[in-house]
Amino acid sequence: MTKMAYSFSRIKAFGCPFRFKRLYTDKGSEPAGELAEIGGAVHGLIARYRRTCIDRQVEQDPGWIDIAVKQAVSSKSETVAGKIRELMGKFKTGPMAVMDLSIPVNHIEEKWSFDKQWKLLPDWFDQKTRFRAIADFLTIQDRIISIIDDKTGWGQYDDLQLKVYAFCALQALQGENWPLEGVSLKFNLVDQRKVEDVGFYGIDETPAFREEIEGKIQEIEACKNWDPNPAAGACSYCGFHDECPALQKSWEVATRDKEPGFQIQTQEDAERAVSFYSLVERRLKELKTIIDEWVTDHGPVSAGGMIAEKRIKKDWKASSNEDILTALLQAGVENHVIDRNLSISQTTIKKILKDARRMDAIDHVLAAGEVKETVKPVGFYVAKDK
């Protein structure tokens, strides 16, 4: 295997040896996709926000977030822009939006490059580089290093990622507030507005981090069989579907009957049906993308009793709820009729309380309503392990 510089993302990619080989040995490329575009934009905005708060010595600056997000999404598609606005809105009202200015040492998206002996190198692209790392956010206070990694809600969370950053920080920052007592590992779950504590490790426990990292690297370097592994959970964003032997085999198995999956009598039949659904859904999504590109460039396409074309969507929105209510009353509509047809959701209530900076009253306000549980139809979701 050719020499390469490792990172956590490459270790994670090896979960599917086939994809790893296509990406890093064969130097193949895969489209970034919307999820990567959204994640990259949100991570960049959060990093800039942290630097801004520290530079200006303010604990929080929601106004800066609003302006920065508006600028960041100006050239994005509406789907991507909407998701960026949603995630940054959650970050703005989440726990990590408040910076603790009393912390003496902060490192934001600091880049580290190490040689084979884990010695810090001066250049990110140094020819001796064997491992690279970029930690989203870390602090040093009271002889404790806290590692915080921001998560936007996609992909599988792996504690090893935090251990990698912790070990790299210990190698790169020797001398800052040394000797240290331990490391605290946390995930900032942006989409859930919460910070999840993964664990605290004493300094005497951290050498095990290196052993775990080295073990993963040795596993990659010893690999001779680059078979695909759909169980790794990378299929949803992999760019090598057309080449993947596992997907081709799954498609053959899933479609071997005239009516695939429609006769479910065993667990194996059910699994085959879900596999078939997943494959078809993925293929349809890819097909829709290339049809969209064609129609955008060449115009509508009619076939099979359908037409693929761009259409203008017009959405009506009230400019003022107060004006609409007044107009309804002036039209003679009685209050109880208006009340019966106006819908206020839990999401709407949360937005109102956030705008009013009264999230402390959320339980009191929600108590004025009622919770109704319903069983939703079977849904299909990307499997995600914690």
pLDDT (tens digit per residue) in 324-376:
888 888 999 888 888 888 878 888 888 888 888 888 888 888 888 888 887 77
- Residue 89 tokens read as 């809105």
Q: Do 63 and 131 reside in the same domain of the chain?
A: yes
Structural domain including 160 reads: 8-221
Given 259, 279, 308, the domain boundary residue is 308
Q: Do 250 and 217 reside in the same domain of the chain?
A: no
Given 221, 254, 289, the domain boundary residue is 221
- Residue 341 tokens read as 């047809």
Helices assigned H by DSSP within the chain: 8-13, 17-20, 33-56, 62-72, 78-92, 159-172, 207-221, 245-254, 267-298, 321-330, 335-341, 346-355, 362-366
Q: Do 249 and 186 reside in the same domain of the chain?
A: no
- In the DSSP assignment, the letter for residue 274 is H
Type of residue at 248: Q
User: Which residue, chain included where needed, has tokens 């964003």?
Assistant: 237
- Do the beta carbons of residue 185 and residue 235 sit within 8 Å? no
Q: Do 215 and 265 reside in the same domain of the chain?
A: no
Residue, of 2 and 62, whose pLDDT is higher = 62
Provide mean pLDDT across the span 269-287.
Answer: 77
**For position 381, what pLDDT does the model report?**
63
Could you tell me if residue 252 is inside a domain? yes
* Cα 372 from chain centre: 30
Could you tell me if residue 15 is inside a domain? yes
pLDDT at 185 over 70: yes
**Rounded CA separation 10/6 (Å):** 6
Q: Do 110 and 200 reside in the same domain of the chain?
A: yes
Nearest partner of 201 among 150, 237, 165, judged by Cα: 165
- Do the beta carbons of residue 106 and residue 137 sit within 8 Å? yes
Could you tell me if residue 319 is inside a domain? no
What is the biggest distance separating any 2 CA atoms in the chain, rounded to whole angstroms? 81
- Residue 211 tokens read as 């052993």
261 pLDDT tier (thresholds 50, 70, 90): very low
**Rounded CA separation 275/257 (Å):** 14
Instruction: Report the DSSP beta bridge partners of residue 162.
Output: none
Q: Do 143 and 30 reside in the same domain of the chain?
A: yes
Could you tell me if residue 1 is inside a domain? no
Q: Do 282 and 145 reside in the same domain of the chain?
A: no
Report the number of secondary-structure helices (H) and strands (E) in the chain. Answer: 13, 7
Nearest partner of 151 among 96, 201, 204, 111, judged by Cα: 96
379 pLDDT tier (thresholds 50, 70, 90): low
Q: Do 63 and 161 reside in the same domain of the chain?
A: yes
- Residue 271 tokens read as 């699994």
Given 221, 237, 260, the domain boundary residue is 221
Could you tell me if residue 258 is inside a domain? yes
Could you tell me if residue 148 is inside a domain? yes
Q: Hey, is 22 helix, strand or coil?
A: helix
Q: Do 145 and 263 reside in the same domain of the chain?
A: no
pLDDT at 253 over 70: no
Q: Which residues contact 198 (CB under 8 A, 6 or more apart)?
A: 159, 162, 185, 186, 187
- Residue 137 tokens read as 């956010």
Nearest partner of 35 among 190, 193, 189, 236, judged by Cα: 236
Which of 164-168, 315-319, 343-347, 361-365 has the lowest average pLDDT? 315-319
Q: Do 138 and 201 reside in the same domain of the chain?
A: yes
Q: Do 284 and 175 reside in the same domain of the chain?
A: no
Could you tell me if residue 125 is inside a domain? yes
Give the count of domains, the chain. Answer: 2
Domain with residue 210: its CATH number is 3.90.320
**Rounded CA separation 274/257 (Å):** 15
- Do the beta carbons of residue 154 and residue 43 sit within 8 Å? no
Side-chain-side CA neighbours of 74 within 13 Å: the count stands at 6
* Cα 146 from chain centre: 21
**Rounded CA separation 336/338 (Å):** 5
386 pLDDT tier (thresholds 50, 70, 90): very low
Type of residue at 193: R
Side-chain-side CA neighbours of 326 within 13 Å: the count stands at 6
Provide mean pLDDT across the span 204-211.
Answer: 95
Could you tell me if residue 372 is inside a domain? no
**Rounded CA separation 193/92 (Å):** 9
Q: Do 195 and 303 reside in the same domain of the chain?
A: no
